[in-house]
Chains A and B, each alone.
Chain A
Amino acid sequence: MKKFSKIKAIAKVDIKKNLTQIIALTEKNVKLNLRFKVNFIISLLTPIITIAMPLIIMNRFFPEIELIVYQFIAYKIFLMRGIITEFPVQLRFEKYWKTLPILMVGPFHRLNLLFGIFLSRILLILIPFSVLFIITFIQAPILITTVIFIIAIYFLIAIIFSGIGLIFGIFAVSRENFLQPLLFAFNILFWLSCLTYPYEIFPSFVQNFINLNPLYYIFDFLRFLWLENNVIITISTHFYHFSFLISLAIIIPLLGVYIFNIIYKKYGIVGY
């Protein structure tokens, strides 16, 4: 009993310590990002260009509400995609600012680094994300349970993106030469995820590639949730999509930390 309470006390201290570190990393990243505010605001508006064209072109082929849900979900995903690029950008900055060594000597778990960058990005995109979410909600109202579930799914997607970002991040630190090829490959994966253009408009040989793309199932599930507006029906009819999303949300961050540690241990900080 005594031993158990001791373990409980240690766990409590550890949770507090980790939370403090995550908040510190988040706060620092937010402040660094907001140092040049105009650049930051423009970066939030850039995805509008990406969804503008499909909104104009496909207006003739799809019901308006469906198209708005489709494209506004795409905009929100594009905002969240910033989580992936935030890791290599942030870590590369830290490498050349030479703040990275002191960060790496710091007594914290790499998962805290992941959550720190993850939370800072979430905070930074919160306003445009919420605005678009509310507009979508006004255009295509859904049940409150669906709203909660959709927010949870966005959260899981953000976690997956953080894991991918951490993998890209370590390449920015240790093997910068591989970073651009990785980002290029990821851009192709994103392009083939039917985020802005529907599956049906692609020729069948491209559809074969889309079928192999995990991102496609994740984004598709999110759209089904909104358009079907019934969590139980969506999960039961698209259980494969749902289980895929949950598995990735667990595996990718852990894999990210593992790969980060392996590569960092082998190569260290290279290129500054």
Chain B
Amino acid sequence: MNNDIIQTFNLSKIYKLKGRKKEITALNNINISIRKNEIFGLLGPNGAGKTTLVQILTTLVQPTSGYATIDGFDIIKKPNKAKNRVALMLESDMLYYRITAYDNLKFFCKIYNIPNYQQKITEMAREFGLHKWLNQYVENFSSGMKMKLALLRTLLLNRDILFLDEPTLGLDVKSVNFIIQKIKDYNKTIFLTSHDMGVIEKLCDRIAFIDKGNILKIGTQEGLKRLMQTEINIEIEISKSKKELKSELDQYEFVKEIEETNKGFIISLIERNNYRNLFSILSNFPVRKIKEQELTLGDLFLKLI
């Protein structure tokens, strides 16, 4: 049985810009599959095509070619069925500032036909720490509170698939951590886009890197790191004979680079296989500590883009 709840098939979007003959390819033959209850992260620089992909998958924008399915429903042929499965949170909070928080939530609950919404609003507002603010105009909320309210609304709508486009944009660490925790607590299929590597790293089961409308790499965090980490960096601490060790290491071709630090060196090896050779050299020196530097998502991102 196909467990993929979101699938795209050669999805492309081309924009014609005013005053320019050249067309801009926002998305180029995107093929991705997202499994049920998976948290899928889309990482890319500004203008990479992240928001366009979210807009197409939520039926807000029509693709130029290709198609996609949401829970088996074609977003072009059956947009209403597809829409019934999704809730959206774009990079702005998308709230009515001129009415109260409660009125905002009530309005969307009625549009999405949420039963017993009064009780649910009260319970979730308490959970999000917004219960004392429910009867206040949203215009009086801080950025963090607005984003919390937007996330509360998205979760309240009780949809299986959530599209969260930059849900932590411009928020402080405390608010970011709160939002990460809340997203984790609700067991939903989540399509998340963000610039924030930390958010993606903490949340996502699988990640795709997108740039200039192309998916560059897709996989689990560990898988991608393994795939990309052909060369490795070893951090060592040495009490004496620093000069001797450096001149010894300089003789070997598998050592790509040696960077001196206060306590020792960071040694870059051309391949992971050279680990053993390095160890046999180091055994002749008074090395106090050996540690492999882990590749972060940020390093991966910079390597790819």
Contact = CB atoms under 8 A, between A and B. Distances in A.
B9 interface: no
B83 A102 contact: no
Interface string A243-272: 000000000000000000000011011000
A20 B59 contact: no
B110 A269 contact: no
Interface string B57-71: 011111000000000
Nearest to A106: B111
Interface string A89-114: 00000000111011111111000000
Given A17-B113, A107-B84, A98 B99 contact: no
A118 to B, nearest CB: 17
B285 interface: no
A143 interface: no
Nearest to B79: A265
Contacts of A21: 110-111, 113
Contacts of A24: 106-107, 110-111
B83 A20 contact: no
Interface string B201-241: 00000000000000000000000000000000000000000
Interface in A20-59: 20-21, 23-25, 27-28, 31-32, 35
B84 A268 contact: no
A255 to B, nearest CB: 21
Given A101-B60, A102-B88, A102-B90, A32 B98 contact: yes
A268 B62 contact: yes
Given A268-B61, A268-B62, A32 B111 contact: no
- Between A20, A24, A102, A268, the greatest number of chain B beta carbons within 10 A of the residue's beta carbon is seen for A102
Contact of A31 (B60, B94, B99): B99
Contacts of A20: 110, 113
A179 B94 CA distance: 24
B97 interface: yes
Contacts of A265: 62
A104 B94 CA distance: 12
B274 interface: no
B96 interface: yes
Contact of A269 (B60, B86, B88, B96): B60
Contacts of B99: 28, 31-32, 35
Contacts of A28: 96, 99, 103, 107
A104 B110 contact: no
B111 to A, nearest CB: 5
Contact of B96 (A23, A97, A101, A105): A97
A91 to B, nearest CB: 14
Contact of B94 (A32, A102, A107): A102
A170 B38 CA distance: 36
Given A35-B99, A105-B83, A106-B112, A27 B94 contact: no
Contacts of A266: 62
Contact of B88 (A101, A108, A268): A101
B111 A268 contact: no
A105 B88 contact: yes
8 contacts: A21-B110, A23-B110, A28-B99, A101-B58, A101-B60, A104-B60, A105-B59, A107-B80
Interface of A: 17, 20-21, 23-25, 27-28, 31-32, 35, 97-99, 101-108, 265-266, 268-269
